[in-house]
Structure 1
Amino acid sequence: MLDPRAAPLSAALHPQARPARRLTWDSREAGPDTAFVALPGERMHGNAFVEAALAAGAPFVLTDLDVPRALRVPDARAALFAWARAERTRAPLVVGITGSAGKTTAKSYAAAALQALYMPVYNTLPAIACFLIEQGGAQQPLVVEMGIDRPGEMAELVDLVRPDVGVVTSIGPAHLEQLGSIENIAREKGGILQGTRALVGAQASAYYPGVDSYGFGDVTFAGQSLRVTPEGSRFSFAGVPVFLPHAAQVQAEAAVLGLVLAREAGVPLPDAAARLRAVQVPGGRYRVHPGAVTVIDDAYNASPVAVRAALDALGALPGRRISVLGRMLELGPTERDLHAEVGAHARTRADVTYGVGAFAAELGERAYATVPELTAALLADLRAGDVVLVKASRGISWSPERRAQEGVGLDTVVQALLAARAPLDAQVERPDGT
């Protein structure tokens, strides 16, 4: 429980304030077990939602307002971060993970190997602060995803998280509108490696000479005898066999990271490997749905590095391979060229290539302006034995001029594919063989 009376803050506590199980900066999530932190926002201050949080039953609110159940502080943001830093010191091991692609996957496998606690999705400063406060006293390792999209943000994250181990999974063009160049991206993300036990993925190793690397091939800590099939990935590490169902090389590299961390933390490798087999990454992050038509749902987000890796995985699978690609966000003035390069790679890995939205023609030979048009054409062409990869950015990105860039939202294509293949699945599974 998060007891506001025990918070290491110079604060005035309202007598009706009571302990909570969770913290949130989103008043819609406030409730009888969830306290509310009133943070300044881009358009509105969280103070505007304090009354709503109290009405929802929030046990306390961290704010500068004099209201019931207030943990009253001069600056809620500064207080939140100070509280988080204090709680972080109670954790026995903190692993911080960043990279241009593969952060969430690496986080999931590292946490499984270590039996660690980890943040489900969000990786912003307030989300990480709330996570550290909620879990810092649990006496388990913590794995924290640390994503950035602007200069100086990694320094702020490192100051908050103070990881014992810093990991960079990959480096490539992402968030170029703010970060400017790949060299800047490598330098900014490399801040996580300073003063920590540092590890970098095989793809990122060229940007950090002398830093220990993990993965397959010419790296410091290598998995051996990697074999990727439609059933999943098999390899060994330090003599321990590992099998990851429905996984490709990216997931296998994340598993190697987890095993390296486990070994250094004194965790038995066979136990860690057994837990890796059960890892389920969040939806939209290379989740394989096997069937008469195999659907690879990688539609949560996209960058050139991530799309290339997904296409390489697709190219290794049997069947008619189909790529469905949409726009990648925040690539700056070179975005058309970057989309064309990815599209060219798709044509070498897939038998049929689809593109949708902006840069559709660059991404696929079959180009469509809208998702519904693409979906209709794709479903009409679908047949048993196909393997379909769906990947694009989703949500909204903001440019420096504050212009909204809409993500494609190809998750609807995944849903349509899963629904449309049901009759084919039934035909394949019919017991009389007809």
Structure 2
Amino acid sequence: MLDPHAALPFAAAVHSLARPALRLTWDSRQASPEVAFVALPGEKMHGNRFVEAALAAGAPFVLTDLDVERAVRVPDAQEALFAWARHERAKNALVVGITGSAGKTTAKSYVAAALDAQFMPVFNTPPAIACFLIECGASFRPLVVEMGIDRVGEMAELVDLVRPDVGVITTIGATHLEALGTVDNVAFEKGHILRDVAGQPIRSFVGAQAAAYFPGVDTYGFGGATLAGQELEVTAEGASFTYAGQAVSLPHAATVQAEAAVLGLALAQGAGIALNEAAGRMAAVQVPGGRYRVHPGRYTVIDDAYNASPIAVTAALDALSGFPGRRVSVLGRMLELGDTERALHAEVGEHARAKADVTYGVGAFATELGERAYRTVPELLAALTADTKDGDVILVKASRGISWTLERRAAEGVGLDTVVGALLAGR
């Protein structure tokens, strides 16, 4: 329980009617008799505007600078939230931070399973991470935190908040270039996760793909990695390999998932966890929807539509090429690529043509991404469903927010996840 009357790591005036809560939220719509509300500043409005709504919903307390009933009153709610998060995180013996241009959620899922850890949900903004640390920091179980960035300086801020004992970088590639500028800058910014707040190295691992950016740091994966799995075999049914003599089988997985499992086993081994137990838990991992989730059936749908970057799309296409049957790629625009976006879309499209038998593209760079190009998702979907055959394997991947048209994106909010839904419904 989160007791506002207990010792807090910040100065606060606690209202006498404030009650303990099970969870925290900065979204007043989620406030309830068990969920307290934190009134944070937003891009368009301050959370203070929703304090009364949270109280009306029964919030046990509200963290705010307002003098209201059940208030935990502080000068700055965001600073108080982060101070509280650092205080609770310090009670945990093992916190793993994971970042990368692609594969963060996959790595988080497998590492958490291997360590039997508590882990961040999909939403991984600084306030979400802070709430997670407050709610789970005192747990006897390890914590796994996904740490994504999209601007200069953000990783240093997250390291100050999370203070990971182990830092992991999965991959380095062209992501968020509008803000970060170059791939070298991406590596530099993400590299902050490999050091503590004083700039000293911590226990660190990087995926083999990112090794060139971080010389001297232990790598994980296969082949020449420092921590390497052996005898990797990837089929339509999944991936299998061995690590330190332990056999591992991952249903519906590809190389990316197998690499994440190697990382999980290496961390489990370092934590003194039996490898057979770690391998058993990883075999049952279900990644969140939209992140390389394979749906077998009359035809197979690979739902990878949550997000996309050149390195992530390339990896998904490589996995697609290993399936039997007619291989179909359905690709949409990758966002935040800056001035190089057309060239990067063309490179991905060339890779798609090499790995898939049929290539579809939709949106602003449809012709670069596929031989069959469509302006809108409905037009694409009509053509795709008419052409789909039994035995096909269909990969669907794009950045979130790709919609019917650019002008209607905000109003309609329709992305390639609707294509996945229609394909699954049509089986």
Tell me if both proteins adopt one fold, taking TM over 0.5 as the criterion.
Answer: yes
Native 8 Å contact 2:402 2:415 kept in 1:
no
Q: How far, CA to CA, are the matches of 1:406 and 1:29 in structure 2?
A: 24
Q: Deviations over 1:179-198 (max 9, x none)?
A: 00000000000000013101
Which stretches of structure 1, 4 residues or longer, exceed 3 Å deviation after superposition? 403-408
Q: How far, CA to CA, are the matches of 1:364 and 1:18 in structure 2?
A: 57
Matches within 5 A, 1:13-412: 13-194=14-195, 195-395=201-401, 409-412=415-418
Aligned residue for 1:4, secondary structure, equals coil
Native 8 Å contact 1:395 1:406 kept in 2:
no
Q: How far, CA to CA, are the matches of 2:116 and 2:419 in structure 1?
A: 34
Structure 1: 5+ residue runs without aligned partners?
A: 398-402, 422-434
Aligned residue for 2:124, secondary structure, equals coil
Aligned residue for 1:110, secondary structure, equals helix
Q: How far, CA to CA, are the matches of 2:245 and 2:361 in structure 1?
A: 43
- With structure 1 as the length reference, what TM-score do the two structures score? 0.94
Task: Give the superposition deviation at 1:9.
Answer: 2.1
Task: Give the superposition deviation at 1:218.
Answer: 1.1
Native 8 Å contact 2:14 2:71 kept in 1:
yes
Native 8 Å contact 1:154 1:189 kept in 2:
yes
Task: Give the superposition deviation at 1:291.
Answer: 0.9
Aligned to 1:420: 426
Aligned residue for 2:122, secondary structure, equals coil
Task: Give the superposition deviation at 1:8.
Answer: 2.4
Task: Give the superposition deviation at 1:395.
Answer: 3.1
Task: Give the superposition deviation at 1:369.
Answer: 0.5
Q: Deviations over 1:347-366 (max 9, x none)?
A: 00000000001100000000
Aligned residue for 2:284, secondary structure, equals coil
Q: How far, CA to CA, are the matches of 2:128 and 2:313 in structure 1?
A: 27
Specify the code of the residue in structure 2 equivalent to 1:163.
P
The alpha-carbon distance between structure 1 residues 396 and 245, as it changes in their structure 2 partners (threshold 3 A), is same
Specify the code of the residue in structure 2 equivalent to 1:149.
D
Task: Give the superposition deviation at 1:406.
Answer: 9.7
Q: Deviations over 1:394-421 (max 9, x none)?
A: 1389xxxxx9899871010011111112
Q: How far, CA to CA, are the matches of 1:128 and 1:420 in structure 2?
A: 38
Task: Give the superposition deviation at 1:211.
Answer: 0.4
Native 8 Å contact 2:333 2:402 kept in 1:
no
Native 8 Å contact 1:327 1:408 kept in 2:
no
Q: Deviations over 1:77-130 (max 9, x none)?
A: 000000000000011100000000000000000000000000111111111000
Q: How far, CA to CA, are the matches of 2:49 and 2:285 in structure 1?
A: 40
The alpha-carbon distance between structure 1 residues 77 and 396, as it changes in their structure 2 partners (threshold 3 A), is farther
Native 8 Å contact 2:330 2:396 kept in 1:
yes
Q: How far, CA to CA, are the matches of 1:132 and 1:35 in structure 2?
A: 15
Q: Deviations over 1:256-278 (max 9, x none)?
A: 11001000011010100000000
Q: Deviations over 1:227-271 (max 9, x none)?
A: 011110000000100000000000000101100100001101010
Specify the code of the residue in structure 2 equivalent to 1:122.
F
Q: Deviations over 1:125-149 (max 9, x none)?
A: 1110000000011111000000000
Q: How many residues align?
A: 416
Aligned to 1:10: 11
Q: Deviations over 1:145-179 (max 9, x none)?
A: 00000000000000000000000000000000000
Specify the code of the residue in structure 2 equivalent to 1:280.
Q
Q: How far, CA to CA, are the matches of 2:402 and 2:52 in structure 1?
A: 29
Q: How far, CA to CA, are the matches of 2:401 and 2:164 in structure 1?
A: 29
Native 8 Å contact 1:97 1:103 kept in 2:
yes
Specify the code of the residue in structure 2 equivalent to 1:219.
A
Structure 2: 5+ residue runs without aligned partners?
A: 196-200, 404-408
Native 8 Å contact 1:24 1:30 kept in 2:
yes
Native 8 Å contact 2:86 2:161 kept in 1:
yes
Q: How far, CA to CA, are the matches of 2:337 and 2:414 in structure 1?
A: 15
Task: Give the superposition deviation at 1:206.
Answer: 1.1
The alpha-carbon distance between structure 1 residues 151 and 107, as it changes in their structure 2 partners (threshold 3 A), is same
Q: How far, CA to CA, are the matches of 1:27 and 1:304 in structure 2?
A: 36
Q: How far, CA to CA, are the matches of 1:295 and 1:95 in structure 2?
A: 32
Q: How far, CA to CA, are the matches of 1:206 and 1:347 in structure 2?
A: 28
- With structure 2 as the length reference, what TM-score do the two structures score? 0.96
Identity %: 75
Aligned residue for 2:287, secondary structure, equals coil
Aligned to 1:400: none
